[in-house]
Every structure is written in structure tokens, then in C-alpha cells.
Structure 1
């Protein structure tokens, strides 16, 4: 049974109804509309923790979606799933692809920084100080980009940049 027929949650059901109405009136071709249906179903499955189903829907959406902006969000969501599964290298690959399609996606920059920061801390803990510091420097660069795009977000990252000496800027916003 398609996910659109299984939603028992009122909010999910409302979103589905609204999305279906928008799809009917949206001046888009059939391929774009089909891509949106797969994307919507992927988001719904992801919200319910059904990651395998979400990935299947996102992969199908990617085969249909041509718009770079929309592709960036599909790739970003695939990255989220891989990151939540601890597959950091795969997540980084998808986040980087999302950034290529949409260089104004601060959450992708932030998530790349979070992974690099985590990897840097782990490297330092295991005695690889030089490698760890290099990863922390990479994290800093990605956080700076995220903050430039969304200056009122990522306050913890702003504090870390300042306290770690990786940024000379006092206030980003």
C-alpha cells in the first residue's frame, strides 16, 4: 500500500492532502510531479524512521528530478539518513553533492562541519593530533560558510569557532 494511503497521523494526513492539491494545480510536467511524490513519500518514511523505504523513494526521486535546487534537498536528505546510520563518508558524499547543486544550503555546510568536527575529535583522542587538527580546521571552514548563509543559526558553532581561535570575527549576525 502506498505511504500516502497509510498515514494515520493527522498532520501527515493534512500534509499529504495539501501536497496532492498542490500537485494537481502545479504547472509542472508529469516527471516533476512524480519526482515530488517520491520525495514526499521519502520524507514521510524518513520521519517514521523507515530509512530503507525513504532511501528507495529518494533514489527514485533523483532519477526523475531535473531541477538542481530540488535535487539538492533530495541529496541532503539522503545524507541525513547515512549520517544517522553512522555512515559518515557516504553522508559527506551526499552533502557535498547537495552543496554542488545548491551552494546556499547552510544545513548541508553545517552537517559537513559536524562530521569533520567529530572525526577530528576522534583522531585527536586516538593520538593523531595533526590529522585531528586538520579535520577541525575543515570543520571550521564549513561552519563559517554555514554561518555566512544563516547568521542567526549555529550559535554553538559560532562559540566554538571563537573559543578555539578558528575565527577572529566577534559576532556573525
Structure 2
């Protein structure tokens, strides 16, 4: 049974009805409408924690979607799933692909930074201080890019950059 027929709560049903109306009245081709339907179902599955189903829907949406901006958000959402499943390298790959299509995704830059910081913490725990520093530097580079795009966001990252001496930026809110 399609996800659009399984929504149990009022908000999900309302969203589905609105999305279906928008799909019907959008002046776009059938392929783009189908891509949006798969994307919508992917988001719903992801919200329900059904990651395998979400990835299937996102993968199908990617095969149909031609717009780079829309593709970037599909890839970004796929990256979220892989990151939450601990598949950090795959998540970084997907976030990077999303950034190639849409350079205005500070959240993807932030998420890559978080992964590199996490890897730095792991390297530090394993006694690899030099490797940890390299990973922290990579995290810092991504956080600086994200903060330049969204200066009022990522306050914890801004503090970490200041405390560790990795940034002298004057962007801080």
C-alpha cells in the first residue's frame, strides 16, 4: 500500500492532501510530478524512521528529477539517513554531491563538519593526536564556510572555533 494511503494522523493526512493538490495544479511535466511524489513519500518514510523505504523513494526520485536544486535536497536527505546509520563516508559523499548542485546549503556544510569532528574525537580516543588534529582542521574549514553563509547559526561550532583558535572570523553574531 502506498505511503500516501497509510497516513494515520490529521497532520500527515492534511500534508498529503495539500501535496496532492499542488501536484495536480503545478504547471510541470509528469516526470517532475512523479519525482516530487517519490520525494514526498521519502520524507514521510524518513520522518517515521523507515529509512530503507525512504532511501528507495529518494533513489527513485533521483532517477526522475532533473532540476539540480531539487536533486540537491534529495541527496541531502539521503545523507541524513546515512549519517544517522553511522555510514559517515557515504553521508559525506552525498552531502558533497548536494553541494555541487546547490552551493547554498550551509546545513550540508555543517553536517560534514560534524562528521569530521566526530572522526577527530574517535582518532583522539585511539591515541592518534596528529590524525585528530587533521580531522578537526577539516571540520573547522567546513564550519567556517557554513558560518559565512549563515552567521547566526551554528553557535556551538563558532564557540569551538574560537576556543580552539581555529578561527579569527568576525562573523560571530
Where does residue 52 of structure 2 map in the other structure? 52
Contact residue 35 and residue 62 of structure 2 kept, 8 A:
yes
Superposed CA RMSD: 0.9
Q: Counterpart of 2:116 in 1: which secondary structure?
A: helix
- TM-superposition CA deviations, 1:25-50 (whole Å, max 9, x none): 11111000000000000000000000
Pairing 1:141–2:141 present: yes
Aligned residues: 173
1:92 is displaced (CA, Å) by: 0.8
Q: How does 1:121-160 map to 2 (within 5 A)?
A: 121-160=121-160
1:77 is displaced (CA, Å) by: 0.5
Structure 1: stretches of 5+ with no match in the other structure = none
Distance 1:74 1:151 in 2: 25
TM-score normalised by structure 1 residue count: 0.97
1:172 is displaced (CA, Å) by: 2.6
Where does residue 25 of structure 1 map in the other structure? 25
- TM-superposition CA deviations, 1:57-98 (whole Å, max 9, x none): 000000000101100000001010001111111111111111
Contact residue 147 and residue 171 of structure 2 kept, 8 A:
no
Q: Counterpart of 2:151 in 1: which secondary structure?
A: coil
Distance 1:17 1:149 in 2: 34
Structure 2: stretches of 5+ with no match in the other structure = none
1:170 is displaced (CA, Å) by: 4.3
Distance 2:164 2:7 in 1: 46
Distance 2:61 2:141 in 1: 31
Where does residue 166 of structure 1 map in the other structure? 166
TM-score normalised by structure 2 residue count: 0.97
Pairing 1:89–2:63 present: no
